[in-house]
Chain A
């Protein structure tokens, strides 16, 4: 029965991971005919690219435009040089305009003059900041070290900043500690101390410091830092609240919006991220990873059509394998399987090599789509090509990519070569004993199902059940393979006549009865075996209604008719014969069942033919 349920294309959106930013002071490209890109839509995507607005670019343009104005202002102010050349304020104003006009060298010259005129440490600080921005940290450090480090909070923080840049967190911590000692409520000192605590993994200490800083001033970065600390402590509600405050203060804080989106995804609260992502993308339309986040949030919250629009916007910015894969997933969820397959194929072509994860993910999804649309020949053909690239069984060890093996074996079985599929499954279990538990559980479950119908191999199947049940704890709590394994094991025990063991296993998966076809059918079998024919038949018929494909429906129907036929022989031979004939003639799905039905039929007395 290597034709059990296979993994679907759901929830496989690949998104560029967002690194948490703590703010201190973020050849399968094969010959298939399907590989033609969906041309009309690609043209549509190209059209979208010209419409994308980027706030980042607009802000830079605005800043450049302003800097030109400030450059003019600087010229005008220089006309007054004779009158005010000995004034610290005048020289600061010149430095200000030079800074705003993006001329840091000139800014530094004015600041140096100001320092000479007034001797104020204000100028030393400004010069130090200027040197850091110009990439001259050594000179900046010299300047800050020349200040009174026993009293100057700012100088200590600047030195800490320089040490963090050198990744010397311990020395940085010394300066921050000093700064806090000088002024325990200084905003910058507390924010820095909190960030360092966070970097060291001491989230509680980080929160303590961020809270003190917040009393002084509320900034978006500070709230984002606070949220990260809460996330680390598993305090998700508090993290959500902090992130929302951060975004309210600065709707364009990409770090805050991305962290909120990722947290919302993990916590399955995607709706809460949609508005923030939407607002961010209203202005920053050239950020592909944020479009991907919006798409993910929309898919998860059930707005698949909008998600598709978001993904197309993403594709208009970056033509990557991952975005086309995601479009395919969305189409698949919208029920457009053919189009989904086209996008998965296109994603495979877009990948730079078959070693790229996005290529393999797209391949996995393509195979899954083939399985769903019952295109088993295509599934096996493409599966072969993809698996050829897996020379070291890397896929078999991978949580998601191991599905490629699952789908391939399923495809072989459904293409009518169950023996070949069984042989391949057994070989895989033997050759890759450390394959991912998800794959091993599926293979064992499938083999148990297949061997259950062969009396001579029950012992072998029982061993597989023993091994398989040990694997269950390694699977996710909501992994369908756990219950599939138990359901098939129950089926085996029922075939072996071990009703008690079967009943125990069925009670463990009782939540799936009346919801999933195979556990429901297995319970039906149990009832029939116990002589409760009507109840058993009702459960079988319910299972048939729950199936997702005609194949499964017929498969269950065949088994039901065999079991009913066998059970009714003593009560109503004519009816028994009718059921057995249906098992042989109307639903000849599983060879072993057909054979068994035939032999029971042959043993029936001839008077039942009437």
Chain B
């Protein structure tokens, strides 16, 4: 861990109050024991906003020397704030709690001279409830409950897409929920990698994926991660992965790679071909011309494979949604998330009907049992009477 970053964390955590309003500051995306940090260009702190009397997340630009020289990282940090500004008071979207501010971090440089580093930050609302348990303990949750949650997740993504924002790093860790009017609402957090449809890509060519590889589609590995036109489809792919994981022991990425052992060949071929495209338009044209040839043999793992908890009655419904969402060719991937939600609702109703049927069946059985019991008692009484002299 860099000295800059450590100094910032130590300073802020020791600070009684930041900017006259934030108290109890605690870093949340760095684990000193494992040395692991989540996120590329920000350090996130949880703090209490005394003005609003609620908790907030303070997002600081990571002042690691490596980040300071990478202009696009600073631009991405600025872009995140801009996106959040655009999403202000929009339903199911993460809300800003403050504008951009600068904290002056004082320290001593290598030559012993006192230095001040300006640290940019902004605050967003703190949403407490994580939903990762639905994924990490999926076997303990009812199928209907999981489908309801998935419907909420889709709604949160739709909310972003409706405002021309695509997240590009969707995964269970980047989703939170809160309850409003006794209803659970899911919100996508950490818009650090998100982009607006109208904004220009920050890099000329995206060599790596923008989001987590386990939730990234094929095109994200092939120089197309920054293409605005298909950004929403990247999110849709991640939704497919999450749908699978709500009902399976395996991660979707593992199941997919295990079923398609030649995936890396397709990836290498497409990456090689797309490298030749000089512009985004050309890259997309090359993609469209070749993906059909090379991805023919890629097949989606079944949602009801070994270790699955999906009820048999809804597996075909969910499989169709999964296949559509995770199609390797973004041109064939499901675009219409309303359609996905309709499928999810069909599955929910199917489960409810099954539940009602089972309940009615149980009631019927109970009535029949009682009736038989009564008849038996009647018989016994009759026998007694007949035996009397």
Contact = CB atoms under 8 A, between A and B. Distances in A.
B132 interface: yes
B139 A251 contact: no
Contact of A88 (B139, B221, B294): B139
A80 B257 contact: no
Interface in B230-258: 248-251, 253-254, 257
Contact of B297 (A55, A62, A99, A250): A250
Given A55-B265, A58-B268, A100-B254, A154 B136 contact: no
B132 A80 contact: yes
A389 interface: no
B350 interface: no
A60 B34 contact: no
A557 B31 CA distance: 99
B172 to A, nearest CB: 10
Given A83-B133, A89-B135, A97-B251, A63 B264 contact: yes
A468 B13 CA distance: 103
Contacts of A84: 133, 136-137
A55 B137 contact: no
Given A73-B213, A89-B138, A96 B250 contact: yes
A79 B253 contact: no
Contact of B36 (A53, A79, A253): A79
Interface in B131-178: 132-133, 135-140, 173
B54 interface: no
Interface string B296-323: 1101000000110000000000000000
Contact of A220 (B135, B253, B254, B297): B297
Contacts of B348: none
B271 A58 contact: yes
B262 A70 contact: no
A283 interface: yes
Interface in A507-527: none
Given A78-B34, A87-B139, A120-B307, A58 B272 contact: yes
Contact of B140 (A56, A83, A87, A219): A87
A125 B250 CA distance: 13
Given A79-B34, A251-B294, A62 B139 contact: no
A92 interface: yes
A80 B133 CA distance: 10
A79 B34 CA distance: 8
Contacts of A114: 249
Nearest to A219: B297
Contacts of A89: 135-139, 248-249
B337 interface: no
A91 B135 CA distance: 12
Given A66-B213, A73-B212, A76-B36, A87 B136 contact: yes
A96 B139 contact: no
Contacts of B221: 62
A154 B306 CA distance: 10
Contacts of A73: 212-214
Given A79-B34, A88-B249, A96-B254, A55 B268 contact: yes
B293 interface: yes
A122 interface: yes
A53 B272 contact: yes
Interface residues of B, number: 40
Nearest to B262: A250
Interface string B257-292: 100001011111101100000000000000000000
B339 interface: no
Nearest to A78: B34
Contacts, number: 115
B381 interface: no
A388 interface: no
A75 interface: yes
Listed residue (A72, A99, A217, A250) with the most chain B CB atoms within 10 angstroms of its CB: A250
Contacts of B299: 217
Interface in A250-268: 250-253
Listed residue (B31, B213, B271) with the most chain A CB atoms within 10 angstroms of its CB: B213
Given A55-B272, A253-B262, A248 B267 contact: no
Contacts of B140: 87
A93 interface: yes
A80 B34 CA distance: 12
A449 to B, nearest CB: 57
Contact of B268 (A79, A125, A283): A283
Contacts of B138: 89
A609 interface: no
A249 interface: yes
Nearest to A223: B297
Contacts of A76: 36, 38, 173
A16 interface: no
Nearest to B247: A89
Nearest to A248: B296
Interface in A97-135: 97, 99-100, 114, 118, 120, 122, 125
A458 interface: no
A90 interface: yes
Interface in B107-121: none
B214 A70 contact: yes
A69 interface: yes
A279 B137 CA distance: 45
B66 to A, nearest CB: 16
Listed residue (B140, B257, B297) with the most chain A CB atoms within 10 angstroms of its CB: B297
A277 to B, nearest CB: 15
Contacts of A55: 265, 268-269, 272
B271 A62 contact: yes
Contact of B264 (A60, A87, A250): A60
B262 A252 contact: yes
Contacts of B36: 72, 75-76, 79
Contacts of B214: 70, 73, 97, 100
A283 to B, nearest CB: 5
A59 interface: yes
B122 to A, nearest CB: 24
A404 to B, nearest CB: 44
A109 to B, nearest CB: 16
A96 B262 contact: no
Contacts of A88: 139, 249
Given A93-B251, A122-B307, A219-B297, A59 B34 contact: no
Q: Which 10 A-B pairs have the closest CB atoms?
A: A249-B297, A58-B268, A59-B264, A96-B254, A92-B249, A122-B307, A250-B297, A90-B136, A59-B268, A87-B137
Given A70-B213, A154-B306, A252-B266, 19 more contacts: A55-B272, A59-B267, A66-B264, A73-B214, A75-B36, A78-B34, A84-B136, A88-B139, A89-B136, A92-B251, A93-B136, A100-B253, A100-B257, A114-B249, A122-B249, A217-B299, A250-B265, A250-B297, A251-B294
23 contacts: A53-B272, A58-B268, A58-B272, A59-B264, A62-B271, A66-B264, A72-B36, A79-B36, A83-B136, A87-B137, A88-B249, A89-B138, A89-B249, A93-B251, A96-B251, A100-B253, A154-B306, A220-B297, A249-B296, A249-B297, A250-B297, A251-B296, A283-B272
